[in-house]
């Protein structure tokens, strides 16, 4: 049976453990905000887009986080965050995913019906 995508990584920022989780819920939340986590294209995100991405990945373990919290993570701990994202995106799909880390593409949000 095919294993579901459900990867988790924990890292420390200012003495606080931060856990990010990549699974269906995180992918769906990111898509709702116009970020396709599994696309293979240009990985350049603005700071606000990165904060939204981090919130989508952190919300299950840190429901109290707001976009302000995740923007602070992006601004204050970019290296720790980058390393955590590399580990997270590497752990769900093996070697190929490790080579494709950071390949996040922004797309236009769908029109509401």
Residue 65: what pLDDT? Answer: 94
112 within some domain: no
Q: Which residues partner with 35 through β-bridges?
A: 106
Instruction: Report the C-alpha gap between 16 and 39 in whole angstroms.
Output: 31
For 12-31, what is each residue's pLDDT tens digit? 999 999 999 999 999 999 99
Is residue 113 assigned to a domain? no
Within 13-110, residue ranges assigned H as helices are 24-32, 47-58, 67-76, 78-91, 95-99
| Percent of the chain whose predicted confidence (pLDDT) is above 70 | 76
**Number of domains present in the structure of the chain:** 1
pLDDT score, position 107 = 39
Q: Please report whether residue 39 resides in a domain.
A: yes
List, for residues 18-74, the tens digit of each pLDDT value. Answer: 999 999 999 999 999 988 887 745 567 889 989 999 999 999 999 999 999 999 999
pLDDT band at 93 (very low <50, low <70, confident <90, very high): low
Q: Look at residue 47 and tell me if it is in a domain.
A: yes
Classify residue 23: in a domain, yes or no.
yes
Q: Is residue 1 part of a domain?
A: no
Burial of 64 (0-12, 13-18, 19+ CB in 10 A): exposed
Task: Give residue 51's domain range.
Answer: 6-106
């Amino acid at each position: 049976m095919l294993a579901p995508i459900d990867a988790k990584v924990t890292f420390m920022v200012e003495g606080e453990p931060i856990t990010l989780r990549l699974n269906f819920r995180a992918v769906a939340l990111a898509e709702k905000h116009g970020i396709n986590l599994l696309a293979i294209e240009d990985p350049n995100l603005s700071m606000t887009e990165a904060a939204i991405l981090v919130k989508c990945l952190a919300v299950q373990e840190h429901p109290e986080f707001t976009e302000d919290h995740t923007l602070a993570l992006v601004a204050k701990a970019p290296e720790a965050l980058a390393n955590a994202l590399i580990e997270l995106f590497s752990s769900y799909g093996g070697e190929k995913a490790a080579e494709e880390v950071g390949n996040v593409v922004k797309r236009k949000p769908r029109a509401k019906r």
